[in-house]
Amino acid sequence: MTTTLLPPLLVLVASLWMVPLLTVNAFTSSITSTEFSTRCALPKKGLFAKDKWDMLIDEDEDLQFLGGPPVPRDMKYNMYNIQRQRENYESMKAAGGKDITNDVYARDPEEETFWFVGKIARVGDVTVEKAMARLWPMIEEHSARLRPVELYPKWGKLELFVSPGDSELDVAYCKPELQFEQMFREISGVEDITKAVRSVEIGFQGELYENNEEGFRTVRSADGKAVKP
């Protein structure tokens, strides 16, 4: 019987090829399948998964938001500004609690239905009126995107109201003492709201729907009072 010896170079190449394979086998045999999936799976954020805000924007690409007053660069409805305002809100609420927050509702001026569209927060001496005026372009466009059937047709003419922070339960029970307060795009005595309020002094967390939610709404009078106390 003749024994064939492999050339030394070929033996070296084969050895180097087997090292990664043996390493992987040793690694996978030492952990469970669940652990392997957790430790080796691709990240779920970034390029590998869409944020719900991305989906909200993508689904409504056919909606046009043209005309109207100029929108400050930091209030344009894009992922960078949306994320920054959401982070602002979360940080402010964590530090100051719900007393510095408000729930926000939008409505078609010709309808009695008020749609919950998100929450705002503010710091320092920034009033809720100033915060809403500063955030107006972002909140109004978010409202129209969130409710394209009910609110988008009146974009540019939507009415925005606020209630105390985290007051959804009281709103649902139509407590008569809880009256919404109407906000306005412009504030008397404030010529340039972008100079009066910095974007880092306010935060907005827009409402998002999951699993075909119908959306929280309430029926109220034009001045924000509960219709059925």
Q: How many residues appear in the chain?
A: 229
Cβ neighbours for 71, distance < 8 A, ≥ 6 positions apart: 137
Contact 193/134 with Cβ under 8 angstroms?
A: yes
65-86 pLDDT, tens digit per residue, is 877 889 999 999 999 999 999 9
The closest of 81, 196, 70 to 129, measured between CA atoms, is 196
133-151 pLDDT, tens digit per residue, is 999 999 999 999 999 999 9
* DSSP one-letter code for 22: H
| Relative orientation angle of helices 79-96 and 52-59, to the nearest 10 degrees | 140
Q: Helical H runs in the chain?
A: 8-29, 33-40, 52-59, 79-96, 128-146, 168-172, 193-196
pLDDT band for 46, please (50, 70, 90 cuts). very low
171-202 pLDDT, tens digit per residue, is 999 999 999 999 999 999 999 999 999 999 99
pTM score above 0.85: no
